[in-house]
Amino acid sequence: MRLISLVVLFAVFIIFAKDTSAQSAMVSDEEAPVLTLPQPSDSVPNAFEQQPQPAPPSEAAQQTEVAMPDVRTAEDLYRAEIKTLGQNKNQFVHCKLKNGRVLTGTVRGPGYEAFMLHTNAVGQGTYIYYKDLAEAPRAVPAVGTHFKHAAQWTGIGALIVIGLPILILLSAALFASGERC
């Protein structure tokens, strides 16, 4: 019995250690990178050199610019936000839907019309259309969701640790009894 307790304790330690390392890695991703300016070259440009002037835009190009303004819908903005949030596979996203539901999970497979939000530790997740979003998705730390996923994996591990020996004992007892299945 002591061996089983040690195995369960070790499995729980591994699961929670993985989650805490994922949280610390998530914090380091939010730090801004340091940008450096390129160094000027040794050659000095000729100050008296003639620079080519760009040609003025034609009247037809000006008319098409006026006729076709850059209009972005809310769905386009949501799509761009999901695409940027989906680049980090460990980042949790908070989505509020028009029907009032609030979902928190990781973005999987952002597409043109919809994306997959992975809300459980096991399973495929929820398919969400951009037109169903009430507001722009935002990144959240989601400590509760991390805990929920860890609890789900712990339950699966406990089921395997406890269920597998019971299954082996029952199959051995069934074999010893001489029953044919």
pLDDT in single tens digits along all 181 residues of the chain = 566 776 776 777 677 665 554 444 444 445 555 556 665 555 555 555 666 677 676 666 566 555 555 557 888 888 888 888 888 888 888 888 889 888 888 888 888 888 888 887 777 788 889 888 888 888 888 777 778 888 888 999 999 999 888 988 888 887 788 777 6
Residue 79 in contact with residue 110, Cβ under 8 Å? yes
Using CB atoms within 10 Å of the CB of residue 75, give its burial: 0 to 12 exposed, 13 to 18 middle, 19+ buried: middle
Q: Are 140 and 96 in contact (CB under 8 A)?
A: no
Type of residue found at 96: K
Alpha helices (H) along 112-142? none
